[in-house]
Structure 1
């Protein structure tokens, strides 16, 4: 099975949208009372958090090799 890239921003966004769904499911079943305007701030905060997560994940040191495994031009291996 081939490995795939991780996308933590998408994971955080999905979890935040799932949290909104849980809040409104609890409201629909009568477990608690959620005002109608709660969803917008929760979704916006979740998207902001997902963007920050994706940006932090994107800022990582690059190695001496490109994703294809070939060395970058101008860099020699230190073997």
Structure 2
């Protein structure tokens, strides 16, 4: 199996959608009653947060990959 980079934004997005699925599963199994408007902010907020985490992760990784710029020429 090929190794890949850890992507925390995708992990967070998957966790939020799994939680939304579990909420609907509990509602369908009559374990509890979930109003229709509860899951929409959860999914939208979770996906927005996952996007922000993904962008921050991308910025950090891009910053680590760029070599440091050389100082001004002429100084020794």
For the aligned pair, the TM-score class normalised by the smaller chain equals 0.7 to 0.9
- Number of residue pairs the alignment of both structures matches: 68
RMSD over equivalenced CA pairs, Å: 2.2
C-alpha displacement of 1:39:
2.1
Query: Residue 62 of structure 1 corresponds to which residue in structure 2?
Result: 64
User: Which whole-Å CA distance do the structure 2 matches of 1:57 and 1:8 have between them?
Assistant: 8
Cα deviation per residue 1:28-51 (whole Å; 9 max; x = unaligned)?
A: 111111011222111101111101
**1:31 pairs with 2:20:** no
Does 1 or 2 have the higher relative contact order (CA < 8 Å, sep 6+)?
A: 2
Structure 1 alignment gaps of length 5 or more? 66-71
- Runs of 4+ deviating beyond 3 Å: none
How far apart, CA to CA, are the structure 1 residues paired with 2:66 and 2:52?
26
Name structure 2 gaps, 5 residues minimum.
Answer: 71-76
More helix by share: 2
